[in-house]
Amino acid sequence: MTKGINVLILIAFASICGAIAQDSLTPTPSPTTKESASPSPTPEQTPSASPARSVRISFVPPPLEGTISLGIYDGNGKLVRVLHQEAELNEFIVGADALVTQWDGKNDDGEDLSAGKYHARGYAIGHVKIEETGKTQEPPLIDSPDFVRVKLVANPLENNERPIVELKASSDNQDAYLTTKDGLPLLTVARIEDSTDYHALLSRADKSIDFFILHGTITRQFRISNIDKMMAFDCGDFELK
């Protein structure tokens, strides 16, 4: 009797252990955590570039061998851009019946100019002779005018009389120039090492000009001959948008 009871106790104990073992082997699902969705980055807005401005300028070059200086003028006649200075013909595009160049709508400082009407005109400079005639430590004893007037060769393509141009002396930190009264450089007279203290022109009866450059205590004098061997030309009005 006692032996039978012991067998029943062993069977019951084995059943309990099996149930406990099954419970420990059953995987317990881990609680799921809701992940917050990170917002997608907003693409950086790149400002659109302003469209490039370009004005086509064409002209028939005067029948004079030499270089070309061309300027852009605003509605008040003020020079706003030196587009070409003592340029050779190969610096222009050769069109079917004219030379062609482009203007980007900027002034000489690289700033965009306002939309409106502008004008282009220039000069063909022939074989002008420049020679240095003297150098002295004495200042030039002359009462020089602000500008001199020169009657140019007539341009047969424009059917006009011989125009008169007003010329003046000018310079920067590298060169001394002969320019128009409104500032368009026509001819480089001399290389200089620094800005000058004084420069002047003196017209002569033989259609030449004396050009004086004073820097410190040194005065350099140049004779510019054949100064009338220039022709004016006009490119007309155009619209900058």
Predicted pLDDT of residue 221: 92
Predicted pLDDT of residue 64: 95
Tokens read off for 197: 């203290």
pTM: 0.75
Q: Which residue has the higher pLDDT, 5 or 79?
A: 79
Tokens read off for 208: 């030449």
Section 34-46 average pLDDT:
50
Q: Can you name the residues that pair with 171 across neighbouring β-strands?
A: 176
* Rg for the chain, CA atoms, rounded: 43
Report yes or no: 212 and 198 within 8 Å, Cβ to Cβ: yes
Cα–Cα dist 175/224, whole Å: 16
Cα–Cα dist 128/3, whole Å: 142
Predicted pLDDT of residue 160: 74
Q: Can you say how many angstroms the Cα of residue 221 is from the centroid of all Cα atoms in its chain?
A: 34
- Of 60, 84, 63, 59, the C-alpha closest to 72 is 84
Residues in the chain: 241
Has residue 100 got a pLDDT over 50? yes
Average pLDDT, the chain: 81
Q: How confident is the model at residue 50 (pLDDT cuts 50, 70, 90)?
A: low
